Amino acid sequence: MKSLLGLLLLLLATPVFAGEELHIFNWNDYMSEEVVAGFEKSCNCKVVQDYYSGTEEMMAKLQAGASGYDLVVPTQNAVQALIQQGFLEKLDKGALANIKNQDPGFLNRSYDPGNVYSLPYAYTTTLIGFNEQRLKEQGIEPTGWAVIFDPQILEKIKGKVTVMDDADELLGAALKYLGYSVNDVDEKHLREAQQVIMTAKPYWAAFNSSSYIKELTVGNIWVAHGYSSDMVQARNDAMDAKRDFSVNFILPKEGAVLALDNMVIPKKAKNKKLALQFIDFLMDGKNAAGLSNDVGAGNPNAAALPFINPELKQLAAIFPDQKVLATLETLEATSTKVRRLKNKLWTEIKLK
C-alpha cells in the first residue's frame, strides 16, 4: 500500500503547467489544432478546449453556472440571447489591431449592431452530406430536403440516414422543405413541420449531431443532415482512408440555414486579456485561413482569402456567392414562449 501511496503522491506532485490558461468553449470539430499550437507558442500559455454540439446544449451549460470560460464561440442567435441576458463583456476594440481584416459584409449584423460584444469567427451552412456511390446505386439524385423527408425516397435508404439532434436545425429544415422561413413561429406551421419529421422518422437511423463525420467516412451512413464544415472533413477523411466511395454534399434547393459563429468573452471570464489576444490572433489573415483550411468552414475574414485552399474557395456550399446567399437564412433568437413550444414539439418528436 505504501508504494501505491508513494506513486500517487509523485503523480500529484508533478508540476502543473505554470503559465496562463485560456479556456475555450467551442463547437466540436471547429478549431485548427495548428493555429492553437501557434498561439500557445506566441503567448507561452495553454489553451484548454471544451466542446458542444448544439446551441441549446451550450446555453444550458452556461446557464448551469459554467463560469470560467474565457472565450465562447456561439452562433448568431445565441449571441443575441447572451447579450439580452447580460452575459457578455464588451470587446475592447483598442486591443484588436486585426479587426481591419474582417469582411464588412459580416459585421454590424442585427444580432449585435456595431459588434459591441462579438466578432465573427467562421460560418457554415446546414446541408446534406451523402455517399455518392451508394446513392447512385439506389438511383437517388439528391437535390433538396426531400432526401431526408420524403418517405418514397427514404424507402430505399432506410436506416442509412441521420439527422441533427437539434430542434432549431431540424424543424428549420422541415420548415424550408414546406416552403416556410426557418424562423417561422406560427404554431400551425411548426406543427406541419413536426408532422413532416414524424412521417420520416421511422426511416432514420438516429438523431446525431456529433459523430456523423465518422459514420459517413466509414460508410455506415449514406445521408447525413449536418454542418458544411463537417461534410468537408468527412469528404477529406474518406479520401485519405481510400474508401471505395466518395462523400459529397449539396445545399438543398429550397434553401438552408446559414450559421455565423462568433467569438465572445463572458463577463465572468478569468482571463479576458488573453482571450482578446487570441481573438486578435485568429483575425490575422493567415491564422483565419488556417481555420478554414483545417475545418472546412467559410471565412468572414477578407485578409484570409488569399491563403485559403482554392479548391475549398470555389465550393458554393462553403463560400456561397450572392445568388446562393439569397436562399440562406440565419436563425434568430426566440422568445421564451416560442422556445417552450419548440421544446414541447421536440420532446414529442423524440418520444412518439
Q: How far is the CB of 112 from another protein (least distance, A)?
A: 18
Q: Which of 25, 29, 35 is nearest to 291 (CA)?
A: 35
Site string for another protein, 62-101 (x = CB under 8 A): -xxxxxxx-----------x---x----------------
Strands 247-250 and 256-264: unpaired
343 is a contact residue toward another protein (CB under 8 A): yes
Q: Which is nearer to another protein, 323 or 352 (CB)?
A: 352
**Of the ranges 20-28, 117-125, 145-153, 284-292, which one interacts with another protein (CB under 8 A)?**
20-28
Alpha helices in the chain (DSSP H): 2-13, 33-43, 55-63, 76-84, 132-137, 146-149, 151-154, 167-177, 187-200, 212-218, 228-240, 272-282, 285-295, 310-313, 322-325, 336-351
Q: How far is the CB of 20 from another protein (least distance, A)?
A: 13
**Of the ranges 43-51, 127-135, 169-177, 271-279, which one interacts with another protein (CB under 8 A)?**
43-51
Q: Quickly count: other Cβ atoms within 10 Å of residue 347's Cβ.
A: 11
Site string for another protein, 176-215 (x = CB under 8 A): -------------------------xx-xxxx--xx-xxx
Q: Which is nearer to another protein, 263 or 288 (CB)?
A: 263
Query: What is the Cα gyration radius of the chain?
Result: 21
Question: Sign of dihedral through CA atoms 135, 140, 141, 143?
Answer: negative
273 is a contact residue toward another protein (CB under 8 A): no
Calpha distance 347→165 (Å, rounded): 11
Q: Which is nearer to another protein, 101 or 220 (CB)?
A: 220
**Of the ranges 96-104, 236-244, 285-293, 297-305, which one interacts with another protein (CB under 8 A)?**
236-244
Q: Give ∠ CA 276-278-281 in degrees, rounded to 5.
A: 115
Q: Which of 25, 111, 149, 249 binds another protein (CB under 8 A)?
A: 25
